[in-house]
């Protein structure tokens, strides 16, 4: 059984796999990691670390542990001029896309703290992508760097506001609607240049991003465990 860990700044997302089948998953705090390691009979683990965490509970078990970097044995090729700066979560997501859709073009949209857009072509070559401020980051920036704009939190847009008729609606249009427009623009670019492209949507804000978007964004393939699928693929091929 494989254990995969996606370590962020404040929480750790984990998953268990038997072969290629995901059998369990959840979220723990760094303080809860020792209990997680002791609770499940895993044989080896792979870690994607964007934040800081003490991996001692894993290393103390003596079981094989793989910390994902750009030098890891990968099922894909990285065509990126500074691979050492490429986030391991972006690498893992691309490997997950290749596992789910081999020999096909894939555009991966990860809507988290930041929104990352990554393109993997049908030859299995990661070509790069884009990094945008995430939805909540934009709301906080408008409040932090201005004198009078309020902080809007947990905004759920039932309708796509384009022309705001009050300050709240104007901020919502400038954040939610403009973010959707940006992502939809990337989708149109890749589909127009490369033809058939699988659109994969992951991350905690995936639903909020896709709500009321254009048909391509609304119909994107939801893969909430894409990073874990990639980590498990790497484990199984090493």
DSSP 3-state assignment of 44? strand
User: 8: Cβ–Cβ under 8 A, 6 or more apart, which residues?
Assistant: 50, 51, 113
On whether the CB atoms of residues 23 and 16 are closer than 8 A, the answer is yes
Structure tokens at 170: 């104007």
On whether the CB atoms of residues 149 and 167 are closer than 8 A, the answer is yes
Q: Are strands 2-7 and 125-133 parallel, antiparallel or unpaired?
A: unpaired
Assess whether 214 carries a catalytic annotation.
Answer: no
Sheet holding 125-133: strands in order across? Answer: 77-78, 125-133, 114-120, 106-111, 198-202, 221-222
Element (H, E) at 135: helix 135-144
Q: What are the CA-CA distances from residue 101 to residues 52, 120, 218 (Å)?
A: 31, 10, 19
The DSSP code sequence of 73-100 is --SSEE--S-GGGS-HHHHHHHHHHHHH
- Annotated catalytic residue, options 6, 89, 121, 205: 89
On whether the CB atoms of residues 217 and 208 are closer than 8 A, the answer is no
Catalytic machinery residues: 89
């Amino acid at each position: 059984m494989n254990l995969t860990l996606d370590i962020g700044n404040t929480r750790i997302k984990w998953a268990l796999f038997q072969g290629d089948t995901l059998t369990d998953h959840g979220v723990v705090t760094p303080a809860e990691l020792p209990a997680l390691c002791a609770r499940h009979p895993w044989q080896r683990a792979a870690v994607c670390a964007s934040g800081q965490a003490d991996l001692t509970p894993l290393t103390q078990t003596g079981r094989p542990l793989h910390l994902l970097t750009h030098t890891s044995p990968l099922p894909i090729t990285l065509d990126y001029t500074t691979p050492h700066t490429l986030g391991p979560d972006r690498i893992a997501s691309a490997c997950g896309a290749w596992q789910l859709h081999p020999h096909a073009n894939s555009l991966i949209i990860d809507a988290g703290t930041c929104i990352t857009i990554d393109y993997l072509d049908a030859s299995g070559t990661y070509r790069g992508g884009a990094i945008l401020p995430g939805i909540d980051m934009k709301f906080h920036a408008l409040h932090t760097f201005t004198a009078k704009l309020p902080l809007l939190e947990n905004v759920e847009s039932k309708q796509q506001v384009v022309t705001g008729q009050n300050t709240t609606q104007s901020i919502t249009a400038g954040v939610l609607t403009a973010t959707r427009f940006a992502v939809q623009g990337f989708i149109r670019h890749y589909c127009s240049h490369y033809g058939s492209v699988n659109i994969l949507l992951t991350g905690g804000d995936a639903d909020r991003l896709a709500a009321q978007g254009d048909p391509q964004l609304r119909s994107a393939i939801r893969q909430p465990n894409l990073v874990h699928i990639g980590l498990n693929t790497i484990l199984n091929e090493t």
